[in-house]
Amino acid sequence: MYNVRKLTDDIFWCGSNDHRTHLFENIHPIPLGVSYNAYLLIDEKTVLFDTVDWSACRQMIENLEYLLQGRPLDYLVVNHLEPDHAASMQVVLDKWPSVKVISTKKGLLFANQFGFAMDKIECITVKEGDKYSFGKHEVTFVEAPMVHWPEAMVTLDLTSGVLFSADAFGAFIANDGKLFADEVNFERDYLDEARRYLTNIVGKYGTSVQALLGKAAKVIDSIKIIAPLHGLCWRKDLMWFIDKYNHWSKYVPEEKGVLIVYASMYGNTESAAQALATKLCEKGVTNVKVCDVSNTHVSYLISDTFKYSHLVLSSVTYNLNIYPLMHDFLDEMRMLNVQNRTVAFMENGTWAIKSGELMRKFVEENLKKMTILDEQVTITSSAGADKEADIEKLASAIAESLDTVSTEV
Ligand code: FEO
């Protein structure tokens, strides 16, 4: 059954929702599913903006056949060549062989690399600022390198004000009938999945996201709708969501609060982490989240690290090293360029306790602009009453330093 929605009078969502894939990029869990958004403009020419993942190809083709009503597809604009959007290109090229493909030079190069039969197709290479008319609608192309791949661009429809924003402004959610963010309680139900998507997929490239936001700011009055390649479209409160992007891409915390991540083998390090959370709450610091590194997928930890201003890492010593899953989390932070956070450490071990020293060294050597609190809790096997003063001291230091951090962008 075809499944489309009207974005404007003559632009239609014709993508697909995916609840079958469990791991996005074969890494990130997507419990709310994911949508692959493609959009069709019906003007004097018919124009498809991006395609969908291979798993969703049949749905998109059915949608296109319904919308085109026998008309040929004249153009395919490829904003982003990653296969979750471009894998179905070849089917489109085979079905409408007169289609002209518009993309950046690198986009067309990547299309060849992925094995699409581009030699049989008329290709139009576009660059920053180029304009193209499809009849009533004129679009302009804006390069967006490293948001999320180097070939990426976004397309602004100057006639309708729709910004086809590629990966930017997406989320790990299936739309399930909805199209616009104002049809749901986005902040309550979907913001976490928008943050988890952005920070894990493009977190490393904050500067590139900032460059794109800078270009968007110059034409912000022309943008009426943001239409990303995943998740919901934005026609209201654009600046609210742009502000979130500013926080994430500038590595500024969204909230003053504390994320406590613990690595515990027998519950003793966990118990100390919980005692710290309690002491923080007793001091009025209730924006505290506690996560077990062993049963929380690292993509959630990364997302919360981008959200909160403070991070406490509490790890048992394991083979004279940091607990492996805690080390993985630290390494993921390094790869995703996490910076500008206040960090504290708790360590545990029955002999040769090393994890605190090693975590501190890792943060000092690999993460930028981190503030490390001097107060550190060392536990020998289990935290008894003798450790209460140390945990209390750490809670006080965190509470005091919360007043010194800024969430302004
Ligand atoms: Fe949704 Fe970078 O692809």
For position 145, what pLDDT does the model report? 96
Of all atoms in ligand 1, which is nearest to the CA of residue 36?
A: 1
Of all atoms in ligand 1, which is nearest to the CA of residue 152?
A: 2
For position 65, what pLDDT does the model report? 98
Q: Give the domain CATH number at 113.
A: 3.60.15.10
Q: For the chain, how many structural domains are there in total?
A: 2
For position 61, what pLDDT does the model report? 98
Compute, in angstroms, the gap from residue 148 CA to the centroid of ligand 1. 7
Residue 407 lies in a domain: no
Residue 229 lies in a domain: yes
* Greatest Cα-to-Cα distance within the chain, rounded to the nearest angstrom: 78
Compute, in angstroms, the gap from residue 50 CA to the centroid of ligand 1. 11
SS (H, E, C) the chain: CCCCEECCCCEEECCEEECCCCEECCCEECCCCEEECCEEEECCCEEEECCCCHHHHHHHHHHHHHHHCCCCCCEEECCCCCHHHHCCHHHHHHHCCCCEEEECHHHHHHHHHCCCCHHHCEEEECCCCCEEECCCCEEEEEECCCCCCCCCEEEEECCCCEEECCCCCCCCCCCCCCCEHHHCCHHHHCHHHHHHHHHHHHHHHHHHHHHHHHHHHHCHHHCCEEECCCCCEECCCHHHHHHHHHHHHHCCCCEEEEEEEEECCCCHHHHHHHHHHHHHHHCCCCCEEEEECCCCCHHHHHHHHHHEEEEEEEEEEECCEECHHHHHHHHHHHHCCCECCEEEEEEEECCCCCHHHHHHHHHHHHCECCEEEEEEEEEECCCCHHHHHHHHHHHHHHHHHHCCCCCCC
What percent of the chain stands above pLDDT 90? 99
Compute, in angstroms, the gap from residue 37 CA to the centroid of ligand 1. 11
* Overall average pLDDT of the 292-312 stretch: 98
Compute, in angstroms, the gap from residue 312 CA to the centroid of ligand 1. 31
Residues 70, 217: one domain? yes
Compute, in angstroms, the gap from residue 282 CA to the centroid of ligand 1. 43
Q: How confident is the model at residue 101 (pLDDT cuts 50, 70, 90)?
A: very high
Structural domain ending residue among the three candidates 193, 226, 250: 250
Average pLDDT, the chain: 97
Span 130-140, pLDDT tens digits: 999 999 999 99
Residues 220, 307: one domain? no
Structural domain ending residue among the three candidates 231, 250, 269: 250
Q: Give the domain CATH number at 391.
A: 3.40.50.360
For position 317, what pLDDT does the model report? 97
Residue 122 lies in a domain: yes
For position 178, what pLDDT does the model report? 98
**What residues contact 331, with CB distance under 8 A and at least 6 apart?**
none
Residue 409 lies in a domain: no
For position 366, what pLDDT does the model report? 98
Residues 216, 305: one domain? no
Structure tokens at 286: 């209730």
Residues 186, 322: one domain? no
* Overall average pLDDT of the 92-114 stretch: 98
Residues 326, 345: one domain? yes
CB-count burial class (<10 Å; 0-12, 13-18, 19+) for 15: buried
Span 107-120, pLDDT tens digits: 999 999 999 999 98
d(CA 266, CA 66): 59
Structural domain ending residue among the three candidates 194, 217, 250: 250
Q: Domain of residue 195: give its range.
A: 5-250
* Overall average pLDDT of the 65-84 stretch: 98
Residues 238, 309: one domain? no
Residue 408 lies in a domain: no
Span 190-246, pLDDT tens digits: 999 999 999 999 999 999 999 999 999 999 999 999 999 999 999 999 999 999 999
Residues 165, 237: one domain? yes
**Contact call for residues 199 and 303 (beta carbons, < 8 A):** yes
Residues written for the chain:
409
Residues 320, 352: one domain? yes
Residue nearest to atom 1 of ligand 1 (CA): 167
Span 9-29, pLDDT tens digits: 999 999 999 999 999 999 999
Residues 315, 240: one domain? no
- The sign of the dihedral angle between the CA atoms of 382, 388, 393, 397 is positive
Pocket of ligand 1 (CB under 6 A): 80, 82, 84-85, 148-149, 167, 229-230
Residue 157 lies in a domain: yes
Residues 237, 268: one domain? no
For position 337, what pLDDT does the model report? 96
* Overall average pLDDT of the 142-166 stretch: 97
* Overall average pLDDT of the 268-280 stretch: 98
Q: How confident is the model at residue 177 (pLDDT cuts 50, 70, 90)?
A: very high
